[in-house]
Amino acid sequence: MTNKPLISIIIPVFNAEDFLAKCLESVIGQTYTNLEIILINDGSHDNSLEICRTYAARDNRIIVLTQENQGNSVARNKGIETAKGEFITFIDADDFVDSRLVELLLDSCIANNTLLSISDGYIYKDFSDIKEIDDVENLTDNTLVPSDYNGMYHHTPWRKLYHRSLLANIRFPNGLYHEDIGFWYGVMSVSPNISVVKKPLYYYRQNNQNSITIREIDLLRRSLDGVRSFEYGLKLIEENAKDKKFAEMVNALVESYYELPFICEKKEWFKKQAEFLNKLKKYKPILNKTNKSKLNKLLCQTSIKFKKHFDRFMYPIINFPKWITEPIAIVRYGIITLCEYLYCQYEDLCKK
């Protein structure tokens, strides 16, 4: 590693004219100056491309690429393939960053001898409603090892600095919503540890309807893509992680999948989730007790046969008055919980 390595900042851009200037001002104003700033215009039909070109004319560190609208993954992957930096970071065009983001993330990698670093950040809609992102509470050291990953759900690619060697064989899956989940598990599967900067350095804007990460995708598509992205993450873990690291990564994936709300009451979703969970079933022997229980519960919840027979009983009352349906809904929840427990006990008993 050189003393002042080139850092590539990759920014996909889609219809971000209202926010792009603020983003770019925060990037060109970084205290660390040896930067390559790659802007990928993903078929914007507002003034985003003109704004990109205006800034490129002012700052020779900026490279502007343009493509037909192909989505976030293709844009970021094009940025990775274009990047010449020893390290790479991602920023969304409707967000902005602290002026010390790159400097502190790089210092953390160097000081802790890691290839990957992460900072805290903020989530906000406007500055009257701002919340800190603090993924790693009660951290006693500056680094995390794979066994610490359980329960950590910061799948987003931004507020992280990656050594380019980590991305040699890792790309975002094309055409998926929630594409960052699979990418993140791929990165974790090849990274021996992560250094942490306990400072909020990234400002993530929620609910920009023109954002490249927010498209009008129906619930079924979003839910299916959530499962597919975890499936992609499992594939990368299987390809890259070995022995103890493999077990730790599979446990992290199961725990994370259990916590994320990819739920859709459609037959296609139940079928897709059942396929994915059946892939995970073969790893039950390496799951810890908690995650084994979580996987069992997921298997019960998505049993199409179980749901079909239970809902056949429940659907006739769906249009009854609330004073009837609400108490029944509470009872329904209790019955489902009990049935799931008994179903899991029966399934485990049959396998013994």
Amino acid in the structure at residue 206 = Q
E strands, the chain, are: 7-13, 35-42, 62-67, 87-90, 96-97, 116-124, 130-133, 143-144, 160-163, 194-205
User: Tokens 């660390």 sit at which residue?
Assistant: 32
pTM: 0.83
Note whether 27 and 33 are within 8 A (CB): no
Cα separation, 254 vs 263, whole angstroms: 15
Strand partners, 36: 8
Q: What DSSP line would sit under 92-128, residue for residue?
A: -TT-EE-TTHHHHHHHHHHHHT-SEEEEEEEEESSTT
Contact 44, 72 (CB under 8 A): no
What pLDDT, on a 0 to 100 scale, did the predictor assign at position 343? Answer: 57
In tens, the pLDDT along 152-162 reads 546 889 999 99
CA–CA separation, 174 and 39 (whole Å)? 19
Q: Tokens representing 172?
A: 């975002």
Per-residue pLDDT tens over the stretch 246-277: 999 999 999 889 887 666 767 788 888 889 99
Closest CA relative to residue 37, chosen from 19, 56, 18, 20: 56
Reading the block at residue 179, the tokens are 């594409």
Quick one: fold of 7-205? Answer: Spore Coat Polysaccharide Biosynthesis Protein SpsA; Chain A (3.90.550)
- Name the nearest CA neighbour of 234 among 161, 268, 283: 283
- For residues 44 and 71, the answer to whether their CB atoms sit within 8 Å is no
pLDDT in tens, the chain (352 residues): 667 999 999 999 999 999 999 999 999 999 999 999 999 999 999 999 999 999 999 999 999 999 999 999 999 999 999 999 999 999 999 999 999 999 999 999 999 999 999 998 998 776 556 677 666 554 556 777 666 665 554 688 999 999 999 999 999 999 888 899 999 999 999 998 899 998 999 999 886 555 555 444 577 888 899 999 999 999 999 999 988 889 999 999 998 898 876 667 677 888 888 899 999 999 999 999 999 988 988 887 766 555 555 555 555 555 667 666 667 666 666 666 666 566 565 555 445 5
In degrees, rounded to 5, the angle at the alpha carbon of residue 27 between the alpha carbons of residues 181 and 210 is 55
In 301-343, which ranges are E strands?
none
Report pLDDT for 259: 82
Which pLDDT belongs to residue 189? 92
